[in-house]
Structure 1
Amino acid sequence: MSNLPVFLGREPTVAEDLKYMEYDSFAEEGPRTIGTPDPERLQRDTSHYLPGKIFLVDNCLFQIPMHYLSSESEVFLGMTEIPLPADGSAEGMSDDHPIRLDGVSKQDFRQLLKVLCPRKAYGPAAVLSFGEWTSVLKLADLWCMDAVREHAISVMSKLTVDPVEKVVVARTYHVDQWLIPAFNEILQRANTLTEHDVDRLGLSTALRLVAIRERLVQDYRGIHTLTHARQAVNLDFTSAIISELPECKNVKTHFNSWGSLTYA
């Protein structure tokens, strides 16, 4: 029985489970050829080293059933369609001949595997931080894992996180529905923008946000007072955000059945 969560892909067949378990990566290997990894200098991941294909990410070896990846991405599905040589020397069959995943960090890959390969099918789902889910989103985008991407966005939307960080991630991975709520939170909070916030948002965006906040009228008398710190406000800045920030002009807004404004 597969550990694959019900929201991700189809259930693998028994034949698929067996296909990637028939090679024993712990069997003794012959002499290494020049240019192949030296297993003695690499580390095996302690959480994800199961019967299956062997991947090299950074300096770490992961071994997992291939169907966890191939059922979610055509990139990995294509690897399963390559005929296996009779001598079993194909990539992924041993620590000496792993499948190299260049340009990917072992930390990011490990977070993706927490979602795709839960350690116990009957146990609770992995609890990941916003940063860890960002790793999942990053690789889901890289390998066109649409179902994984949608699930990551759904979970991340419910997590409490610095709104500036949410804007950065939304821009990087094209999650446009996060932009207006995140900008609203920045405008509503008591905290002013720091230099680091300005660096991450960009000077143009930061200046536009400051300009919107300065339009806030304190009271009907038009009296201006200087306080020690900026005050939090309970005001919806959506219309001003859409008007002043070009990247939000095409974000679709609509009211759901409960009368709440949502973004898509």
Structure 2
Amino acid sequence: MNSDVFSAMFTLPQGNCVPEGSSDTNPIRLDGVSALDFQRFAELLYPTHIIFPGQTYHNRTLTKDEWILILRLATNKAIVELGKLIEGIERILLSKEFSIQPWLWGGCLRLIVRPKRLTLEEASKIGFEDSIRLFRLREDFHRRPQIPAHDWEEEFG
């Protein structure tokens, strides 16, 4: 299993600094994650027994607490890292799919303030009603370059 996030950490220019994770004395720090939780998470991702060709692997059933741990660690990291990579329409669509409310406003705001209008392709992706809401907010914004909170709440509440 490969991790783009951890791989990227090792390839980023470090200047004169020693890169995180390059030694036991300079580990990768994951804020808000205890060493024990990370160890459990890694054990779930990387089972310790070897499977030889021709054998089948029967995964054990995970406990509720293990699933919660997976959800918590994976979700927090994905939201932070993916949030850096996605823009506009994709941010709106993913915010709805995964119920990440801050991404909805961030995605809408990017589309509202950008100089380029919403394209037909973009509008079709988010649907008729949300497109109309965005057009209204864009129109208001370009008339008076700020969007009062009550306008946003009224449109996307």
Normalising by structure 1, we get a TM-score of: 0.37
Deviations 1:162-214 (A, max 9, x none): 31110000100111111112111110001211121111111011112112222
Pair 74,243 (structure 1): closer, same or farther in 2 beyond 3 Å: same
Note the C-alpha offset of 1:244: 1.6
The answer for the alignment partner of 2:128 in structure 1 is 203
The answer for the alignment partner of 1:164 in structure 2 is 89
Q: Which amino acid aligns with 2:110?
A: E
The answer for the alignment partner of 2:153 in structure 1 is 242
Pair 11,215 (structure 1): closer, same or farther in 2 beyond 3 Å: closer
**3-state secondary structure, aligned to 1:155:** helix
Greater relative contact order (Cα < 8 A, sep 6+): 1
Whichever structure has more helix as a proportion of its residues is 2
**Residue ranges of structure 2 left out of the alignment (5+ in a row):** 1-27
Normalising by structure 2, we get a TM-score of: 0.58
Residues 75-154 of structure 1: pairs in structure 2 closer than 5 A: 145-154=71-80
Q: Alignment RMSD, CA only?
A: 3.9
Pair 215,145 (structure 1): closer, same or farther in 2 beyond 3 Å: closer
Runs of 4+ in 1 over 3 A off after TM superposition: 4-8, 216-219
Distance (whole Å) between structure 2 residues aligned to residue 203 and residue 216 of structure 1: 20
The reply on whether 1:181 has 2:92 as its aligned counterpart is no
The reply on whether 1:74 has 2:63 as its aligned counterpart is yes
**Residue ranges of structure 1 left out of the alignment (5+ in a row):** 30-52, 56-65, 78-139, 220-234, 250-264
Whichever structure has more strand as a proportion of its residues is 1
The answer for the alignment partner of 1:11 in structure 2 is 39
Q: Which amino acid aligns with 1:155?
A: E
Identity %: 12
Distance (whole Å) between structure 1 residues aligned to residue 29 and residue 52 of structure 2: 26
